[in-house]
Amino acid sequence: MNVASRIPSLKQLAPVYSVIVVAVYGFSMVRFFWRVPSLINYSTVGQVGVIFSYTAVVNLLESLIIILAPIVLSMILPGKWFFEQFVAKGVLLVSLGLGYFGYISSHINTEEEFPYLLVKWSPLVFIAILVLVFFLSRIKLLSKFLEWVAEQLEVFLFISLPVSAIALVVVLIRNIF
């Protein structure tokens, strides 16, 4: 079996990508809409729309970079380890990984010291996440639950992809002309 044959299909990628979209876009959009009242005080509606477009494009790029992690694991590891249960293992991998990044982000505060200890232990945390992902195949109920949740979140792709495409056009036009 060659490496190219272990690239997940679009049907396998969509649920995993939808989990990433919900986490990345959700976090970013909450922060954006939290700032909209203050943006309206010194910006026009068009400028706020442009700021939103840049935010959506950055979210698109971030989510595409994040989806590369499970794809690369699927390609380089033996098929039984990751590819055969790509959706469940990919969802667990990105959920735990993004959860840990969110945890680190919540501890970064301008008034406190940088959380060096959290960053220092990051390699061990990611190894623990990988171990949990590989033991997932032994827990069938959790695998089915993760697949079900990911399929339910696919509806957010119908919102995020068109919004991101329009935002990308806005950003490209704004930077070309």
> Residue-wise pLDDT tens for the chain (177 aa)?
576 777 888 898 999 999 999 999 999 999 999 999 998 889 999 999 999 999 999 999 999 999 999 998 888 877 778 878 888 889 999 999 999 888 888 878 666 777 787 888 888 888 888 888 888 878 888 889 988 999 999 999 999 999 999 999 999 999 988
Alpha carbon distance 51, 14 (integer Å) = 27
**In the chain, where are the structural domains located?**
3-176
Q: Which two tokens stand for residue 171?
A: 């950003």
What 3-state class would DSSP assign to 73? helix
Contact 54, 171 (CB under 8 A): yes
User: pTM value?
Assistant: 0.86
pLDDT of 140 reads: 84
Q: What is the pLDDT of residue 91?
A: 92
Query: Residue 16: its pLDDT value, please?
Result: 93
Buried b (16+ CB within 10 A) or exposed e, 119-133: eeeeeeeeeebbeeb
